[in-house]
């Protein structure tokens, strides 16, 4: 008779790995979106905020490339320039993006309202806190200082420029796990606000969670959510939730205030031998 044996991890969760803009800081993810609009406008091509937000979470050069390849944007570019957007054009826009983002990033460093309570809960549970971002190190040199001043300080942080490829590749998440000294991957939870965040977590074999209200997918400030038409806000919220679930998110939460029960739920599944 032939037998196959497998082992399963039944221990506690060990780490949570957060995204930055739209997840822990910059409610609504406004800092990068506006700059993307500006750099395309300078090239004579108008893009709207939905187009600017579409690939959010990726390396910013990759983000610009994908926007330039969208059907409407590609057509507008060809009409304006007489040729498709080239890699040289993408690089030029990226070089224009970087200083503009550096100039305004500190203005978008406020923490999402639930973060400090969530961070305290993670510390009580002895969980390590990692982070990944589509920003580069120069941008994060500013943002991490601003976040620390406000009380948020993860144990590790990796940028898309630190690894061979940014999201949806798993390398930033895996580098966090290595630096934090945590494994197996089912003991880790990745939390982010974009489809590429969800895919990063899945590709790293981690539990992948979307956070909704502060997200790029919602694209609304806290004030806009509070004062907006409730039916319209709810409709936008459900569309964003569906996008995250269709991307494969194991869970989608409204805010980080739900983190405590979420971790209890995931840890229960891990202790039963389940994997992402």
CATH code for position 250: 3.40.50.1000
- Find out whether the peptide bond into 3 is cis, omega within 30 degrees of 0: no
Inside any domain, residue 224: yes
* Residue pointed to by tokens 């300080």: 153
pLDDT at residue 30 in the model: 86
pLDDT band for position 56 (cuts 50, 70, 90)? confident
pLDDT of the residue at 114: 97
Q: What sign results for the dihedral spanned by CA atoms 55, 17, 248, 252?
A: negative
Percent of all residues in the chain with a pLDDT value above 90, rounded to a whole number: 74
Which residues, 6 or more positions from 233, have their beta carbon under 8 angstroms from its beta carbon?
Answer: 220, 225
Looking at the domain assignment, is residue 3 inside a domain? Answer: no
Check residue 218 and give its pLDDT. Answer: 93
The answer to whether residue 241 is domain-embedded is yes
Are 267 and 178 part of one and the same domain? yes
At residue 196 the predicted structure's pLDDT band, cuts being 50, 70 and 90, is very high
* Residue 156 and residue 239 in one domain: yes
Query: What is the total count of domains within the chain?
Result: 2
| 118 and 19 within one domain | yes
Would 61 be classed as within a structural domain?
yes
Domain that holds residue 215: 15-30+109-271
Collapsing DSSP to helix, strand or coil, 192 comes out as strand
| 256 and 152 within one domain | yes
46 and 59 part of one domain: yes
How many angstroms separate the CA atoms of 151 and 142, rounded?
Answer: 15
User: Which segments of the chain does DSSP mark as H helices, in order?
Assistant: 30-41, 49-53, 60-69, 71-81, 87-104, 115-124, 137-149, 171-180, 195-203, 222-227, 230-246, 259-271
Q: pLDDT at position 54, please?
A: 78
Q: Which of 169, 245, 191 is nearest to 13 (CA)?
A: 191
Question: Which residues lie across from 128 on neighbouring strands?
Answer: 15
Q: How would residue 5 be classed by pLDDT, with cut points 50, 70 and 90?
A: confident
Cα–Cα distance, 27 to 30 (Å, whole number): 7
The 3-state secondary structure of 63-96 reads HHHHHHHCHHHHHHHHHHHCCCCCHHHHHHHHHH
Active site residues: 19, 60
Average pLDDT over residues 38-49: 88
Task: Return the structure tokens found at 5.
Answer: 């044996």
Q: What is the mean pLDDT of residues 135-158?
A: 95
State whether 258 and 204 are in the same domain: yes
Residue 193 has which token pair? 């606000």
Determine the pLDDT at residue 31.
83
Start-to-end CA span in the chain (Å): 31
Check residue 262 and give its pLDDT.
97
> Are both 151 and 188 inside the same structural domain?
yes
251-253 and 207-211 beta bridge pairing: parallel
3-state secondary structure of 225: helix
Q: Are residues 187 and 133 in the same domain?
A: yes
Rounded average pLDDT over 36-45: 89
The model's pLDDT over 210-219, given as tens digits with 9 standing for 90+, comes to 999 999 889 9
pLDDT at 131: 98
* Tens of pLDDT, residues 219-270: 999 999 999 999 999 999 999 999 999 999 999 999 999 999 999 999 999 9
Q: What is the pLDDT of residue 57?
A: 75
């Amino acid at each position: 008779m032939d037998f196959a044996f497998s082992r399963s991890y039944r221990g506690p969760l060990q780490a949570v790995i957060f995204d930055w803009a739209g997840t822990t800081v910059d409610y609504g993810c406004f800092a990068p979106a506006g700059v993307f609009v500006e750099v395309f406008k300078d090239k004579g091509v108008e893009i709207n905020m939905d187009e600017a937000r579409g690939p959010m979470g990726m390396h910013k050069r990759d983000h610009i490339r994908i926007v330039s390849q969208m059907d409407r944007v590609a057509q507008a570019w060809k009409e304006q320039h007489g040729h498709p957007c080239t890699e040289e054009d993408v690089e030029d826009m990226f070089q224009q993006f970087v200083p503009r983002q550096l100039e305004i990033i500190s203005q978008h460093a406020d923490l999402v309202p639930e973060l400090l309570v969530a961070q305290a809960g993670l510390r009580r549970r002895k969980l390590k806190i990692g982070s990944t971002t589509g920003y580069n190190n120069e941008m994060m040199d500013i943002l991490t200082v601003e976040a620390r001043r406000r009380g948020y300080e993860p144990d590790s942080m990796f940028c898309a420029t630190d690894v061979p490829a940014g999201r949806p590749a798993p390398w930033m998440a895996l580098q966090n796990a290595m630096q934090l000294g945590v494994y197996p991957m089912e003991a880790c939870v990745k939390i982010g606000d974009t489809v590429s965040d969800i895919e990063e977590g899945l590709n790293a074999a981690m539990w992948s969670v979307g956070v909704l209200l502060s997200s790029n997918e919602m694209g609304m400030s806290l004030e806009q959510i509070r004062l907006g038409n409730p039916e319209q806000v709810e409709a936008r919220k459900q569309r964003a939730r569906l996008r995250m679930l269709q991307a494969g998110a194991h869970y989608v939460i409204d805010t980080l205030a739900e983190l405590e029960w979420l971790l209890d739920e995931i840890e229960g599944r891990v202790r039963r031998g389940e994997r992402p």
